[in-house]
A and B are shown apart, each in its own frame.
Chain A
Amino acid sequence: MKIIVCVKQVPDTSGKVAVNPDGTLDRASMQTITNPDDLNAVEAALKLKDETGCKVVVVTMGPPPAEGMLREILARGADEAVLVSAREFGGSDTYATSQILASAINRIGLEQDDVVMCGRQAIDGDTAQVGPQIAEKLHLPQVTYAAEIHKAGNAITVKRMLEDGYMTIKVKTPCLLTCIKELNEPRYMSVSGVFEAYSKPMEVFNYETLKDDPLIDPTTIGLKGSPTNILTSFTPPLKGAGVMLEGADKETCDKLAGLLAKKHII
């Protein structure tokens, strides 16, 4: 049995988001991190590895520097890493991205006992689409918003969160799960893990590696394979700063309440 975890390197939006004068995002000046939900998926896979001794393969699509992130995940305990990287893959929207990642998973090979895991969503795009789209491409059942995962034989029981409660869903392997932060607390890299990370297998899948997969076609990858286009991107105007009330005493509060009453807000 093995678990394939799809991860993404993202700009750290919890830090400062830098914007270029033309309104586009200044990615170069932003720190990158592993997408937080993906770390929950990695941890879920590593927990299953602790229980069952299964293999954990981590996959990412991105530019060559994403290798650093993969090494970090190997240092946490993953066994193998795959970097999917090619110029042809650039400019992909979620449809094209899932197409490429699904072909990479085909290449790694998915057996009866295997599980694919993803984070619920990446903090840069916030779409939460790639996981379900990979599942569709691979004809796998999916369970999103996983908050608890239990494996017994070839059946997995998942607690799937809803806004107003949860569902318990039983699904057979192979299947795809997307993980949320409530699932677990990701572990740290260990010192020995960091040493071992550099001797663990790391493969690069480029366009040549994947081009024979039926999912890969000029009309299904990159810009050409992306059904969506950006029409405009823009920065919203800053809402004009309001009134800073002097002092923080009873008088100030009375004044504010008076203003609200006058405007018939209260």
Chain B
Amino acid sequence: MATFNNTDLAAFKDVWVFCEQRQGKLMPTDFELISEGRKLADELGVKLCGLLLGDNVEGLAKELGGYGADEVIVCESPLLNVYTTDAYAKVICDVIEERKPEAFLIGATNIGRDLGPRCAARLHTGLCADCTHLDVDMDIYKDFLRESSTLAPEKVDGMKTAKVLGEDHDVSRDLKMTRPAFGGHLMATIICPRFRPTMATVRPGVMKKAPFDQAKADACKITKPVVKLTEDDIDTEVVEVVKAAKKLVDLIGADFIVSVGRGISKDVEGGIKLAEELAAELGGVVGGSRATIDSGWLSADHQVGQTGKTVHPKVYVALGISGAIQHKAGMQDSECIIAVNKNETAPIFEIADYGICGDLFKVAPMLTEAIRAAKAAK
């Protein structure tokens, strides 16, 4: 094996995406990350590789090509059938040390957030968690700052280097990883200037999926490195994997979300029913603030916000949600936000495109009716 010196930056090439599969099915985040990785690989002028681990998963690889992967590295072993930190971290670190990617992206799922830090610690490199925006190209990054920050234009224009341990470091080839901190009140762009690969976990639902291209899928190369893994490498035993019996609430994929907050407390069932009716009329799903989940009114898979899901539907209707930053962090990029709240000073109105100050129990049914009528009139 080639020697692995993680500070020899020039020796590292290509962008890699960890493609998570569960029970032999690719995760939606894989397509988002491959699409985003394609953009980054183009900015760097390098190849994009998917990294797929599992048992008998080669058949999944070509589909990743259709979203932009030039190559998919497939590591197969019966010991990789179910996710374990030990086995996955070993195989991934082995192949990274062998082939030296420049950047490595992982979806910030419960599994990705278990795997990412373990690998970063072993490889002695930097990992930025839960990124919501990625760039390499400086001009594209500056455009992003002009649009998404309150930084002074001259400060953005002059940006070229970073102070790294007191010295100027040219950041033109570094992966610029932007993520919200403190519930989105503050954004930070992180770089990993001295070590490779630069690692990032990426928030599910944030990156946009590219259209599938069959020609690219056909052209995608598949490589299968030798997997060196024995049972002794694995210190944990997975006794069982249980899929949630209930239907998953697809908040991330929904175009319309009607969310309820503490404002439904006087009639919880009634409030949820009104939200469901409105969601059904729009063809969307019901979400909730953390208050509704903590109170046991809705199950945790409905939660929108910093500790729940990040969503950007076409329309987000917030019924009786005050708009704490933790909630806003998960929905402020929705294309259209409609807020209904009794309190006209509720912070949700600061980001709402349309605000109605009133009782949700009266407004929601009227709104459902009005939308039904408007659709019928078309």
Contact = CB atoms under 8 A, between A and B. Distances in A.
A248 B363 contact: yes
Contact of A128 (B117, B181, B187): B117
Given A13-B183, A257-B370, A230 B237 contact: no
A259 interface: yes
A227 B85 contact: no
A140 B243 CA distance: 27
B52 to A, nearest CB: 19
Given A23-B150, A142-B118, A232 B188 contact: yes
Nearest to A238: B350
A129 interface: yes
B11 interface: no
A263 B120 CA distance: 46
A261 B159 contact: no
Contact of A235 (B186, B314, B355, B374): B186
Contact of B241 (A133, A163, A165, A257): A165
Contacts of B373: 254, 257
Nearest to A141: B235
A256 B244 contact: no
A98 B315 CA distance: 41
The 4 nearest A-B residue pairs measured at CB: A248-B358, A227-B126, A141-B235, A242-B353
Contacts of A162: 22, 109-111, 241
B39 interface: no
A221 B119 CA distance: 18
A159 B282 CA distance: 37
A229 B109 contact: no
B1 interface: no
Contacts of B239: 157, 167-170
A233 interface: yes
B242 A168 contact: yes
Interface in A181-231: 182, 223-224, 226-231
A228 B192 CA distance: 4
A224 B195 CA distance: 12
Contacts of B248: 164
Interface string B329-372: 00010011110100010000111111111110011001101110
A152 interface: no
Contacts of A257: 367, 370-371, 373-374
Interface stretch (B41-49, B70-78, B127-135, B260-268): B127-135
Interface string B294-328: 00000011000010000000110000000011100
B355 A242 contact: yes
Nearest to B340: A248
Contacts of A169: 236-239
A89 interface: no
A171 interface: yes
A182 B378 CA distance: 47
Nearest to A36: B307
B145 interface: yes
Interface string B32-75: 00000000000000000000000000000000000000000000
A133 B130 CA distance: 16
A92 to B, nearest CB: 12
Contacts of B130: 126-127
Contact of A124 (B110, B182, B315, B326): B182
B189 A141 contact: no
Contacts of B282: 266
20 contacts: A95-B120, A142-B114, A164-B22, A167-B83, A169-B236, A226-B126, A227-B127, A228-B126, A229-B191, A229-B193, A230-B188, A232-B189, A239-B332, A242-B355, A250-B366, A250-B370, A253-B366, A254-B374, A260-B336, A265-B315
A247 B357 CA distance: 7
Given A14-B326, A145-B110, A250-B370, A233 B188 contact: yes
Contacts of B232: none
A236 interface: yes
A185 to B, nearest CB: 11
Given A17-B182, A168-B239, A133 B120 contact: yes
Contact of B149 (A165, A167, A235, A260): A235
Contacts of A235: 149-150, 185-187
Given A136-B122, A165-B241, A232-B189, A243 B165 contact: no
A226 B191 CA distance: 11
Nearest to B147: A237
Interface string A111-149: 000000000000011111111110111000111110000
Nearest to A264: B378
Contact of B113 (A128, A135, A141, A143): A128
B171 A17 contact: no
A93 interface: yes
Given A161-B110, A229-B162, 13 more contacts: A13-B325, A17-B182, A17-B325, A126-B130, A127-B127, A127-B129, A132-B114, A142-B118, A164-B248, A172-B235, A243-B354, A250-B366, A257-B373
A258 B350 CA distance: 22
User: Which of A133, A160, A266 gathers most chain B CB within 10 Å?
Assistant: A266
A248 B122 contact: no
B356 to A, nearest CB: 5
A239 B312 CA distance: 14
